[in-house]
Amino acid sequence: MKSVISVYNMNKSKDVDNIQDAISMNEGVIACEISLEKKEIQIIYNESIVRLNKVIDSIENLGYIIALI
């Protein structure tokens, strides 16, 4: 499954690193591409292993504001 997530308060490269770490902790995530310029994350994951809500929760737990596109 592929999804695009918008992160409103992702402003620095450190934010990208933090989000990348949080996403990678979720088993079932196959790949992700984070665009600081667009404030978007494109994520490919195995829906039978991990739900998108779990991935979003791991990012929101860091204090980021998320919206699905």
| DSSP-assigned states of every residue in 10-56 | --SHHHHHHHHHHHHTSTTEEEEEEETTTTEEEEEE-TTT--HHHHH
pLDDT of residue 69: 75
Closest to 44 in 3D by CA, of 25, 55, 30, 59: 30
- At 52, list the tokens: 């998108």
Going 12 to 57 to 24 to 51, the CA torsion angle's sign is negative
pLDDT of residue 12: 97
pLDDT tens figures, 25-63:
999 999 999 999 999 999 999 999 999 999 999 999 999
pLDDT of residue 36: 98
Domains of the chain and CATH, by start: 2-68 (3.30.70.100)
For residue 21, is pLDDT > 90? yes
pLDDT of residue 68: 83
Longest distance between any two alpha carbons in the chain, whole Å: 32
